[in-house]
Amino acid sequence: MRRILKVMFTAVAAIVLILSISSCTEKVPKIPEIVTGFSGNANIELGETKFKCSVSHTEKGVSSITLSSPENLKGMSFKNFGGKYAISYNELICETEESFLPSSCFAQAITNVLDKASEENGAVYQKSEKDNAIFTGTSKSGNFTIYAESKTGIIRKIEIPEINVIANFTDIKLL
């Protein structure tokens, strides 16, 4: 009888120990993969200057940014065809084999960040905050921070402090 009690006590103690250890382990958050193939709208802040535009970017580095405001720049577009570049405004189109935009131009900077985030380890997960997964990296335009939805990896915000650019994305559709 004593042996049965001893075995039962040992079994109960083992179960309690296992349960207490498993409840103390920290859950590792699932790190989402950043989605860089999308189209949507963006509100861009370049210092005190504000732009509204549509943005489209594929994981292969093809992108298009078309301004909708301010009114005097409405319709201007910046396109990267994966090695060929074009800027158009009204009837004027300029195409080239090389990017002639400075890396500090907001359109080129957003494209540089999205291209870098498309690369393996191009944007490194830092932490989760509220519903955002926060990633950082360095592109041709400088250091950047990406705020993506924790569950989906959809980019909601890009910050490039060195050139004072903030882009907030809305109405995202995956490509």
Domain assignment present for 33 = no
Domain assignment present for 18 = no
Domain assignment present for 104 = yes
Is it the case that residue 8 has pLDDT exceeding 60? no
Is it the case that residue 22 has pLDDT exceeding 70? no
Q: How far from 66 is each of 3, 17, 53, 93, 148, CA to CA, in Å?
A: 80, 61, 5, 13, 22
For residue 154, what is the domain's CATH number? 2.50.20.10
Indicate the number of domains in the chain: 1
Q: In a 3-state reduction of DSSP, which class is residue 16?
A: helix
Is it the case that residue 36 has pLDDT exceeding 60? yes
What pLDDT, on a 0 to 100 scale, did the predictor assign at position 31? 84
Is it the case that residue 33 has pLDDT exceeding 90? yes
Domain assignment present for 24 = no
Is it the case that residue 9 has pLDDT exceeding 60? no
What pLDDT, on a 0 to 100 scale, did the predictor assign at position 93? 93
Domain assignment present for 28 = no
Domain assignment present for 115 = yes
Domain assignment present for 145 = yes
Query: What does the pLDDT average to over 148-171?
Result: 97
The average confidence (pLDDT) of the chain is 88
pLDDT in tens, 114-141: 999 999 999 999 999 989 999 999 999 9
Residue 42 CB coordination number (10 Å): 23
pLDDT in tens, 41-53: 999 999 999 999 9
What does the DSSP assignment read for 19-73?
A: HHHHHHSPPPPPPPPPB--EEEEEEEEETTEEEEEEEEE-TTSEEEEEEEESGGG
> Using 50, 70 and 90 to split pLDDT, how confident is the model at 34?
very high
Domain assignment present for 3 = no
Residue range(s) defining the domain that contains residue 110: 38-174
- Judge if pTM exceeds 0.85: no
Q: For a pLDDT cut of 70, what percent of the chain falls above it? A: 83
